[in-house]
Amino acid sequence: MSKTIFQKIIDREIPAKLAHEDEHCIAIHDINPQAPVHVLVIPKKLIPRVGEATPDDQVVLGHLLLTAGALAKKLGVAESGYRLVINNGKDGAESVPHLHVHLLGKRQMSWPPG
C-alpha cells in the first residue's frame, strides 16, 4: 500500500506549512482553504477513517480534539467560534484515507453544511 499524502508530509517527503507538531499529531494549513483559518490536525498513526478507529485509538482521537481546541485559541478563532469537521467515506467527502480533523474559522459557517 502506498503512503497517503499526509504520511508523506509527516515523513517530510512533501513540504507543508506547519501549525503544530507533537508526538501524536501534526497540524498543517490546508492548501485549498475553505475559510480564512483552515488547519488539518492529522494523527501520526495511520487511521484510515474515524469509522475504522478502535478502542486502542482513544488516546489519539481525544488528543486530536484537544489539539484542535488549543490551535483555535492560538489562531485567534476560539472566541468568535469555529467548526471542526471529520469526513468519513465517499458520501462524507473523504478525499484522503487518513483520518484528520478540519479546523475552520474566521468566517460565518452555514447550517446545514454542504
Q: What is the pLDDT of residue 14?
A: 96
With vertex at residue 88, the alpha carbon angle to CA 68 and CA 98, rounded to the nearest 5 degrees, is 65
100 is catalytic: yes
Assign residue 16 the CATH number of its domain. 3.30.428.10
Any domain includes 112: no
Q: What is the pLDDT of residue 114?
A: 67
Any domain includes 12: yes
Half-sphere CA count of 91, side-chain side, radius 13 A: 0
| Active-site choice (38, 98, 100, 102) | 100
In the chain, the number of structural domains is 1
pLDDT tens-digit readout, 25-84? 999 999 999 999 999 999 999 999 999 999 999 999 999 999 999 999 999 999 999 999
pLDDT tens-digit readout, 76-112? 999 999 999 999 989 889 999 999 999 999 999 998 8
Residue 18 CB neighbour total at 10 angstroms: 12
Any domain includes 10: yes
Q: What is the pLDDT of residue 112?
A: 86
With vertex at residue 84, the alpha carbon angle to CA 83 and CA 90, rounded to the nearest 5 degrees, is 120
Any domain includes 110: no
